């Protein structure tokens, strides 16, 4: 399958080489690219989406991060019946003189931020109402993330908060924004592993996901990191998520 995919892509069009591609099994391809230009990664997701829609057994799992960038989705999470929370709407006027580029994209959710200290997981996968619904996919991604971080010494993680995300007590450590096209997912999770004080300072007026920037935390703020933490997290995460999605 990897060879057949390689014949369909001109990797350089997306800032990739064939060395960035590996195979977990005959139907599961992993693309890994650190500090990947956001525009190139988004174009690649769209191409991967077409390929998976034509080959429903195929899974393309993208592990990456990006230079400092903002993305804005279709809109903030709306409260369900009986829920009460207040999110601050994004004001586009605030980014006119901002230091980082902004991309308007098709995923769910509002404004969010990316930087090279994150681990980002974009699963391009065909959903199945009986075996892999959207809610099950999101829960499994968060559960696997929690399992890896628990092994690193972080307790009290949950994703049962009214607000979508992975939380450590009252602090948000990972965001989730999924898009679906013809029952196929793209976009995904951004986990804050390393601190980025400069970007956090810049974001004080923007309220990512409608939240005060002080709501966000990172793995680095909560535990001692292993060597090469982003690569280490990727290895452990993929092993577990592949087991769930075999």
DSSP 75-106: EPPPPPTT-----PPP-GGGGTT-SS-EEE-S
Q: What is the Cα–Cα distance from 188 to 176, expressed in whole angstroms?
A: 6
Torsion of CA 209, 117, 104, 41, to 10 degrees: -140
Measured CA distances, 43 to 9, 48, 50, 150, 182 (Å) = 12, 9, 11, 34, 18
Residues 6+ apart with CB under 8 A from 197: none
Torsion of CA 87, 89, 95, 100, to 10 degrees: 40
Query: Which stretch of DSSP H or E encloses residue 54?
Result: helix 38-54
Select which of 148, 190, 209, 230 is catalytic.
Answer: 209
Q: Is 63 a catalytic residue?
A: no
Residues noted as catalytic: 209
């Amino acid at each position: 399958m990897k060879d057949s995919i390689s014949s369909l892509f001109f990797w350089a069009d997306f800032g990739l080489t064939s060395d960035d591609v590996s195979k977990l099994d005959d139907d599961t391809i992993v693309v890994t690219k650190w500090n990947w230009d956001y525009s190139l990664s988004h174009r690649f997701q769209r191409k991967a989406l077409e390929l998976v829609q034509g080959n429903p057994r195929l899974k393309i799992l993208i592990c990456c991060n990006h230079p400092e960038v903002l993305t804005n989705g279709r809109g903030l999470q709306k409260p369900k019946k009986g829920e009460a929370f207040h999110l601050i709407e994004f004001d586009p006027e605030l980014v006119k003189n901002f230091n980082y580029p902004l991309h308007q994209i098709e995923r769910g959710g509002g404004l969010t931020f990316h930087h090279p200290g994150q681990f980002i997981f974009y699963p391009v996968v065909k959903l199945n109402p009986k075996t892999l619904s959207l809610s099950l996919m999101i829960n499994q991604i968060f559960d696997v993330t929690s399992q890896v971080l628990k092994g690193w010494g972080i307790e009290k993680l949950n994703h049962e908060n009214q607000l979508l995300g992975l939380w450590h007590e009252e602090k948000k450590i990972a965001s989730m924004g999924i898009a679906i096209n013809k029952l196929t997912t793209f976009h995904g999770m951004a986990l804050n592993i390393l601190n980025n004080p400069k970007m956090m300072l810049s974001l004080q007026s923007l309220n990512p996901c409608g939240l005060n920037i002080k709501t966000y935390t990172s793995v680095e703020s909560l535990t001692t990191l292993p060597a090469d933490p982003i690569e280490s997290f990727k290895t452990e995460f993929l092993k577990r998520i592949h087991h769930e999605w075999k």
